[in-house]
Amino acid sequence: MDYQTLNFDVDSGVATITLNRPEALNAMSPAMAKELHEVALQIDANNSVRAVILTGTGKAFCAGGDLGAFVAAGEQARTLILQMTGDLHLALSRLSRNRAPVIAAVNGTAAGAGFSLAMAADLAIAEEQAVFTMAYTNAGLSPDGSSTYFMPRKIGDRRTRELMLTNRLLTAPEALDWGVVNQVVEGGGALAAARVMATGMAQGPTEAYAQVKRLLDSSFSQSLETQMELEARAIADQVASVDGQEGMLAFVEKRKPQFRGV
């Protein structure tokens, strides 16, 4: 299927989503949000996908929302933004709930919605020239794109408030220090590094990765005892699974496991 605002392909178990509006610094438009939702649905329906990469073309990962489109909408701007955030948030929900780990390859500026996308990913790799800023309140707006959910969970409330209230700009090394990204690589190297990581994960125990995602997402809303019960049930399911059996046997036999993603 051809898309107007992004590229999408699946190869050897790795799905790659590339935001493709370089002339607009990959700004999130209503059309891009809709297409992002469409590819998230494709990923959700494709059991062969065992890792996902999200990246951008050109100088930016995603420079935020397409404010020009909102201004042009005039009195219909409120309806337009509700439609756009509906698509964007459904896309992020589908990717977050999907069993495949999502890796953001941040090739440049990640502002506003772009910062939100990076925070929603399970893992993030940034190029050394990348910068991060929330930027929403600079335009008199409030954050979206799941950032108020994922950011305080991943980097803490104080730092989240600083980023959202002051629009502080983080360099890539600062983003690494703050826990915004997991790795910083030289310019032009984010996608290659993400592919190495994704390829390894696509050969891994996909259902175990899915259990990790579910358990971590639930941990802030559960009591200690409830969370431990969820852990017990998850590991019991994995012990009985094909990959769990293979992983344990390979450990005992001192060989590399051959995971099938089931």
pLDDT value at residue 185: 98
CATH placement of domain 206-253: 1.10.12
- pLDDT (tens digit, 9 = 90+) per residue, 184-197? 999 999 999 999 99
CA distance 33 to 51: 21
Q: What would be the CATH architecture of the domain defined by 6-202?
A: Alpha-Beta Complex (3.90)
pTM, 2 dp: 0.95
For residue 195, what are the contacts with CB-CB under 8 A and spacing of at least 6? 14, 53
3-class secondary-structure state, position 15: strand
Q: Could you tell me how far CA 206 lies from the centroid of its own chain?
A: 16
For residue 215, give the amino acid letter: L
Q: What are phi and psi of 220, to 5 degrees?
A: -85, -10
* End-to-end alpha carbon distance in the chain: 28
Residue ranges per domain, the chain? 6-202, 206-253
b/e 185-216 (16+ beta carbons within 10 angstroms → b):
beeebbbebbbebbbebbbbbbbbbbbebebe
pLDDT for 1 equals: 75
Closest by CA to 208, choosing from 260, 248, 243, is 243
pLDDT tens for each residue of 52-63: 999 999 999 999
Distance of CA 213 to the CA centre of its chain: 12
Segments of the chain with pLDDT less than 50: none
In 110-205, which ranges are continuous DSSP H helix?
Answer: 113-120, 147-155, 157-166, 172-178, 190-202
Burial label, 72 (beta-carbon count in 10 A; 0-12, 13-18, 19+): exposed
The DSSP H or E segment spanning 60 is strand 60-62
